[in-house]
């Protein structure tokens, strides 16, 4: 039998408002929401009822080593509600001693009292969505907070980390937002480093369908950094963070020693995880299952789990389904790369088919090895840093092309 998942992601979909680049499954509640009592609390309580019901529906529970509460904006919830959620896992799954319990927080949605409340609830790692310290960039991106809010939040997190109240914290920035030229990006990076976050995530802006940014692009009204500025931004990210002692252990993630995100490594390493909440995707034994993105449909789905038994992907099985192309893609994102021979052997192809498919993939990758984007050490392949990581899409596209033609 396969091992039970030891990690759980929980989606809290509530936000004050939707950012202009966001296409996540979120529920905007406005600026005056009070999640315990008052405006918006009924919506929150109703969602949490179904969320808890889904969490309890799993039959094969096992103690968790990582929990990640994401969103949305989980810090909209009251610390009492976060404690209730963590206690639910503690009492029904168990939580390992030394487990990593991460919570996403937004600079405009919590204060110092809330922070201590979240810590008392059991959170020991925070991921702070700063995105930028520049007020103009924040405004153009639809963010609710201003630079001063971000700086205060960083100071609070630094203080509780330095005093040993939490194990770690991460600062998130988005690269190549509107108005974020080379000068502005340098400012954001250097400002972030001043707070000494143990972990930094740098995400590239993607223009997604259905977002405000996509509509503005279609109207020709969104001015983004030039390709030249975007490339200079990426180069400066890598050099500035490395000079400051950060190691790039995944394409978008940098950390000081011993501060890699244990939870996110579960995804990148192809291990199983539980996921709960509307729009979230679980993969406990390889096969993925995404919940409905709309609140009404999600509630119907949770109810059906009880009426018609759990979805087959949530029931323990010896059969593991996982797309090979995704496994290779996730492995290449990591600094240590992937043992391509081992991964292809797991497909249990006959020897002739194995040799043929391997040969074709290596042919696809030969030009990337020659150009230095890809590096080979024995059977292990990994992206060069920074060149290969910055231009990884070229390699991944060639791999997807190979996979489409695998017979």
Distances (CA, A) of 350 to 225, 309, 345, 346, 354: 49, 37, 9, 11, 6
Q: Is residue 318 part of a domain?
A: no
257 and 357 in a common domain: no
Higher pLDDT, 3 or 251: 251
Last residue of a domain, one of 242, 268, 294: 268
Give the best-scoring range by mean pLDDT among 32-41, 57-66, 95-104, 278-287.
Answer: 95-104
Give the pLDDT band of residue 234 (cuts 50, 70, 90): confident
Alpha carbon separation from 60 to 51, 66, 276 (Å, rounded):
17, 17, 15
Q: What is the pLDDT of residue 197?
A: 98
Q: So what's the pLDDT on residue 321?
A: 46
Spatial separation of the C-alpha atoms in residues 6 and 273, rounded to whole Å: 7
CATH number of the domain residue 249 falls in = 3.30.750.200
Mark whether 343 and 260 lie in a shared domain.
Answer: no
Same domain, yes or no: 88 and 13: yes
Question: Which of the four pLDDT bands, split at 50, 70 and 90, describes residue 407?
Answer: low
Distance CA 139, CA 288 (A): 36
Q: Is 282 within the bounds of a domain?
A: no
Q: What is the mean pLDDT of the chain?
A: 92
pTM: 0.93
What is the count of structural domains for the chain?
2
What was the pLDDT predicted at 230?
84
Condensed to tens digits (0 to 9), the pLDDT of residues 72-82 reads 999 999 999 99
One domain, residues 262 and 328: no
Domain membership of residue 289 (yes or no) is: no
Q: Both ends of the chain: CA-CA distance in Å? A: 29
Which whole number is the average pLDDT over 110-139?
A: 97
**Domain limits at 48?**
7-268
pLDDT attached to residue 317: 66
């Amino acid at each position: 039998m396969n091992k039970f998942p030891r990690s759980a992601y929980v989606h809290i979909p509530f936000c004050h408002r939707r950012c202009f680049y966001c296409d996540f499954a979120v529920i905007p509640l406005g600026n005056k929401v009070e999640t315990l009592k008052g405006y918006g609390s009924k919506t929150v309580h109703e969602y949490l009822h179904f969320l808890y019901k889904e969490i309890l529906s799993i039959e094969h529970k096992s103690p968790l080593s990582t929990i990640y509460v994401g969103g949305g904006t989980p810090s909209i919830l009251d610390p009492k509600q976060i404690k209730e959620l963590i206690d639910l896992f503690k009492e029904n799954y168990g939580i390992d001693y030394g487990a990593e319990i991460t919570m996403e927080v937004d600079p405009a949605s919590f204060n110092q009292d809330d922070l201590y409340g979240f810590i008392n609830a059991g959170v020991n790692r925070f991921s702070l969505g700063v995105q930028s310290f520049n007020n103009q960039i924040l405004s153009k991106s639809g963010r609710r907070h201003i630079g001063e809010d971000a700086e205060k939040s960083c100071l609070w997190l630094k203080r509780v980390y330095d005093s040993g109240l939490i194990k770690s914290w991460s600062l998130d920035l988005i690269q190549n937002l509107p108005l974020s030229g080379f000068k502005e990006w340098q400012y954001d990076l250097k400002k972030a480093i001043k707070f000494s976050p143990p972990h930094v995530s740098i995400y590239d802006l993607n223009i997604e369908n259905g977002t405000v940014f996509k509509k503005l692009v279609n109207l020709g009204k969104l001015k983004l950094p030039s390709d030249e500025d975007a490339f200079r931004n990426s180069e400066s990210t890598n050099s500035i963070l490395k000079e400051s002692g950060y190691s790039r252990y995944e394409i978008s993630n940098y950390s000081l020693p011993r501060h890699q995100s244990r939870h996110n490594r579960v995804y990148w390493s192809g291990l199983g995880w539980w996921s709960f909440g509307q729009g979230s995707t679980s993969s406990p034994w390889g096969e993925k299952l995404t919940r409905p993105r709309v609140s009404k449909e999600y509630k119907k789905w949770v109810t059906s789990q009880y009426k018609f038994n759990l979805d087959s992907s949530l029931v323990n099985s010896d059969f593991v389904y996982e797309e090979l192309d995704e496994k290779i893609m996730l492995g290449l994102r990591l600094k240590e790369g992937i043992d391509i021979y081992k991964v292809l052997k797991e497909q249990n192809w006959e020897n002739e088919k194995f040799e043929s498919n391997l040969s074709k993939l290596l042919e696809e990758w030969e030009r990337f090895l020659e150009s230095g984007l890809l590096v080979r050490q024995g059977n292990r392949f990994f992206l060069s840093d920074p060149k290969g990581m910055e231009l990884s899409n070229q390699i991944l596209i060639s791999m997807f092309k190979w996979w489409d033609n695998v017979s």
